[in-house]
Structure 1
Amino acid sequence: MEILASRVLLRPADYQKTLTFYRDALGLAIAREYGGGTVFYAGQSLIELAGHGSPVAGTPPFPGALWLQVRDLAATQDELRDRGVHIAREARREPWGLHEMHVSDPDGVTLIFVQVPDDHPLRRDTRG
């Protein structure tokens, strides 16, 4: 099997409210728009909001979180706060060494904004 592309597909309860959140509050750039939805750039991935095929009644909420790496977490937190976005969990250094901040979208999907410090193993060449 060869995977050519991937994206996260969300089917929000209120498409317009969620579109406004990702486009205006988060400021994500639009990759493409189509009659039934909007696709946003999210680093090396895409986030698609589908306005078609609404959530199925009784379907559990999105079971995970979106992990979004940023260059400067403090600046991102300030920018989101200035745009009126509620910060669910303030930026802090985690025991595993990453700096993280949590925000929730209108459907309760957790967005984890992450800054990888210079001394973290993700930034080092461990090939020896």
Structure 2
Amino acid sequence: MTTPNPVRQLRLVVHAEDYEAALTFYRDVLGMPEQAAFQGDGGAQVTILDAGRATLELANPQQVAMIDQVEAEGRPSARLRVALEVTDAEGTTRRLTDAGAELVAAPRETPWRSLNSRLDAPAGLQLTVFQELGPA
């Protein structure tokens, strides 16, 4: 018998200096549905966006170096990088760069059969956008 997972949700909390720009980028351009929004005293604002299923990927330095080589021609990734699975990596990458994200590496097929791109996005996040391509 397996023990139920005591963790119910992974929530990445991002300090966004330009809150409106980040909200527009992630909610409106990327298309993450708004789950909840709250306002508080002194102009405090937070919006919780639905990112689908969450996982925590832990990688040792050698794995990070290998991913950096495959995904971004060896350019080192940020210590924390958010990877988002999408249905159309090329189209999503175009929309995000048109909305102000900086392209680090264009979409490319990886040895593990996904199409990955890397971007520097609003609120100081580095993103990997990936599309699963299925079995070889």
Task: Give the shorter-chain TM-score range.
Answer: 0.5 to 0.7
Q: Which residue of 1 aligns with 2:16?
A: 12
Indicate which of 6, 24, 31 corresponds to 2:28.
24
Pair 1:44 & 2:68 matched: no
Between the aligned partners of 2:25 and 2:129, the Cα distance in structure 1 is 15
8 A Cα contact 2:15 2:123, kept in partner: no
Aligned counterparts, 1:55-66, within 5 A: 63-66=79-82
8 A Cα contact 1:25 1:84, kept in partner: no
8 A Cα contact 1:25 1:85, kept in partner: no
Q: CA deviation at 1:6?
A: 2.0
Aligned counterparts, 1:77-88, within 5 A: 77-81=93-97, 83=99, 85-88=101-104
Q: CA deviation at 1:81?
A: 4.5
Q: Which residue of 1 aligns with 2:109?
A: 93
Indicate which of 108, 116, 120 corresponds to 1:104.
120
Deviation by residue 1:8-41 (Cα, 9 ceiling, x = unmatched):
1111222222222212332321111011300101
Q: Which residue of 1 aligns with 2:59?
A: none
Q: Give the number of equivalent residue pairs.
A: 104
User: Which structure 2 segments of 5+ residues have no match?
Assistant: 40-44, 55-77
Q: CA deviation at 1:105?
A: 1.8
Percentage identity across aligned positions? 27
Between the aligned partners of 2:81 and 2:118, the Cα distance in structure 1 is 10
Between the aligned partners of 1:17 and 1:72, the Cα distance in structure 2 is 23
Between the aligned partners of 1:78 and 1:119, the Cα distance in structure 2 is 25
More helix by share: 2
Deviation by residue 1:49-84 (Cα, 9 ceiling, x = unmatched):
xxxxxxxxxxxxx73111111122223234434545
- TM-score relative to the length of structure 1: 0.66
C-alpha root-mean-square deviation of aligned residues, in Å? 2.4
- TM-score relative to the length of structure 2: 0.63
